[in-house]
Chains A and B, each alone.
Chain A
Amino acid sequence: MLKVEKIADGTVIDHIPAGKGLRVLQILNIQAGYLGRVALLMNTTSKKMGKKDIVKIADKHIDDKTADKIALIAPEASLNIIKNFEVIEKRQVKLRSKLVAVAACPNPNCITNHERMESEFKVEERGIRCSYCERLFKPEELSA
């Protein structure tokens, strides 16, 4: 068992599909030069998922837009908000029915990629549809 120190304040993102942890760091804009404390656990065992990744970030709050982006690649992820070493809130990320400005439309011929405007997608049963060009995408296409 790998031991990772506890964080006093911050967020633990749990139940990330194994291999997607690095993408979550990317979404959080955490890269070389980042000064805060961050832990990425890859391929830890999970009862629910077999293997999973976990990200711990000190002193960082995850806003709704970022949670939407995480939900695209890790629909089962949970956010544990830590204060004074205690989990004070635990919530599941959830793909909301309408996603505004969470990702660029992958269709290069879509107006959203040519005008100064926010992208917008609607989540449907079979995928995520751009409200403008009406194309249907898989969640992983949007987070690419």
Chain B
Amino acid sequence: MNGKDLISIRDLERKDIEGLFSLAEKMEGEIGGEKSPLKNRIIATLFFEPSTRTRLSFQAAAQRLGASVINFESVALTSMAKGETFVDTIKIVDGYADLLVIRHSLEGSARLAANVAKHPVANGGDGGNQHPTQTLIDLYTIRKVKKKLDGLCVHLVGDLKYARTMRSLLYGLGMFGADVTLVSPKGLEMDKGVVDEAKTLFSMKIKQTNELDLKGADVAYVCRIQKERFADPYEAEKLQKEFKITEEQLKGVKEDLVILHPLPKIDEIDPAIDNSKHATYFEQAKLGVPMRMAIIMKLLGRA
């Protein structure tokens, strides 16, 4: 992926991801150091759809490398709102910056941007489709904490129907030989096509259940129930209560169970758990910076 784009986890091979792992490790050591390898480089973060956390993480990564950042968040502030096409916006910013980070609510927008822009494009999330930097951070965190990915028992917990994070993560975990248990409320199971594809591509072991049980798991990756997808908010609330991770749920789990969450979390994990040895999501968020530093360096052909 040197000097190209990062649009989808599907474009990556295991060796690309392993390369990013070692590069991210190196970047961790360089945070706060004197090196500014990207001095005089400009990185544009174009957030047509707001996601403050992802944007800040990218901007922190860029600035840690000594690059400057130009940005906007939400279409309301831009000429897009006045009817300029997406393609025009990309072409214009492509003339200003050396690398474009794009988040957009429409699926395939990052791919289109990459086709149009001369500079590399990183996908910061395109609708329900892909969020490859998040997937790379997730894999990196698990590997860092657990020292391996293959053979791990990973539970993906929550709304597996709508969460794109979970679909890409399943794909990445399959690539690295982890075993996965899909834990979701009835009706929010992961799309069968996605599960079948992962099984065929990686001949991975996938179990499915509607019962929240974390016994035996090495990693529990939790995401929230997307209430906005429900016609009946009460129904969503009820499901979330049933699927909340509480101290009660953690009785009898493995000593070294690691709980991850892409954040922001709302009420899917009891705040009491934040201080437990299992909670690893703040560490995960922090590791987003060195991983995004690695991605930026790679895309700019500097690693």
**A residues adjacent to B (C-beta < 8 A):** 107, 109-112, 114-117, 126-127, 130-136
Minimum CB–CB distance for A121 against chain B, Å: 12
Which label, helix, strand, loop or mixed, suits the secondary structure of the B interface? Answer: mixed
Minimum CB–CB distance for B299 against chain A, Å: 20
On whether the beta carbons of A111 and B106 are closer than 8 Å, the reply is yes
A115 with B10, Cβ < 8 A, contacts A109-B107, A132-B112 known: no
List the one stretch of B124-132, B203-211, B249-257 in contact with chain A. B124-132
Cβ–Cβ < 8 Å partners of A133 in chain B: 107-108, 126-127, 129
Q: Is B87 an interface residue (CB 8 A)?
A: yes
Q: Is B193 an interface residue (CB 8 A)?
A: yes
Q: Is B280 an interface residue (CB 8 A)?
A: no
Cβ–Cβ < 8 Å partners of B126 in chain A: 111, 133
On whether the beta carbons of B127 and A109 are closer than 8 Å, the reply is yes
Which residue in chain A gives the minimum CB-CB distance to B87?
Answer: A115
On whether the beta carbons of B129 and A115 are closer than 8 Å, the reply is no
The contact sample of 23 A-B pairs, CB cut-off 8 A, is A110-B107, A111-B86, A111-B104, A111-B107, A111-B108, A111-B111, A111-B112, A112-B108, A115-B85, A115-B112, A117-B87, A131-B108, A132-B111, A133-B107, A133-B108, A133-B126, A133-B127, A134-B107, A134-B108, A134-B130, A135-B107, A135-B129, A136-B193
Docked CA distance A64–B128 (Å): 33
Which residue in chain A gives the minimum CB-CB distance to B104?
Answer: A111
A134 with B87, Cβ < 8 A, contacts A107-B107, A126-B197 known: no
Q: Is B45 an interface residue (CB 8 A)?
A: no
Q: Is B109 an interface residue (CB 8 A)?
A: yes
Cβ–Cβ < 8 Å partners of A109 in chain B: 105-107, 127-128
Docked CA distance A107–B10 (Å): 19
Q: Is B240 an interface residue (CB 8 A)?
A: no
Which residue in chain A gives the minimum CB-CB distance to B9?
Answer: A134
Closest 4 CB pairs of A and B: A132-B108, A133-B107, A111-B108, A133-B108
Q: Which of B104-126 contact A (CB under 8 A)?
A: 104-109, 111-112, 126
Q: Is B54 an interface residue (CB 8 A)?
A: no
Q: Is B8 an interface residue (CB 8 A)?
A: yes
Docked CA distance A32–B61 (Å): 62
Docked CA distance A109–B200 (Å): 27
On whether the beta carbons of A111 and B8 are closer than 8 Å, the reply is no
Minimum CB–CB distance for B101 against chain A, Å: 17
On whether the beta carbons of A132 and B193 are closer than 8 Å, the reply is no
Cβ–Cβ < 8 Å partners of A111 in chain B: 86, 104, 106-109, 111-112, 126
Which residue in chain B gives the minimum CB-CB distance to A125?
Answer: B200
Contact of B129 among A116, A126, A127, A134 (CB under 8 A): A134
On whether the beta carbons of A110 and B106 are closer than 8 Å, the reply is yes
Minimum CB–CB distance for A75 against chain B, Å: 20
Which residue in chain B gives the minimum CB-CB distance to A116?
Answer: B85
Cβ–Cβ < 8 Å partners of B108 in chain A: 110-112, 130-134
Cβ–Cβ < 8 Å partners of B86 in chain A: 111, 114-115
Docked CA distance A46–B52 (Å): 62
Cβ–Cβ < 8 Å partners of A114 in chain B: 86, 106
Minimum CB–CB distance for B14 against chain A, Å: 19
Which residue in chain B gives the minimum CB-CB distance to A129?
Answer: B10
Docked CA distance A13–B151 (Å): 53
Q: Which of B49-88 contact A (CB under 8 A)?
A: 85-87
Minimum CB–CB distance for A103 against chain B, Å: 15
A134 with B8, Cβ < 8 A, contacts A115-B86, A126-B197 known: yes
On whether the beta carbons of B107 and A132 are closer than 8 Å, the reply is yes
Contact of A134 among B10, B85, B105 (CB under 8 A): B10
Q: Which of B1-59 contact A (CB under 8 A)?
A: 8, 10
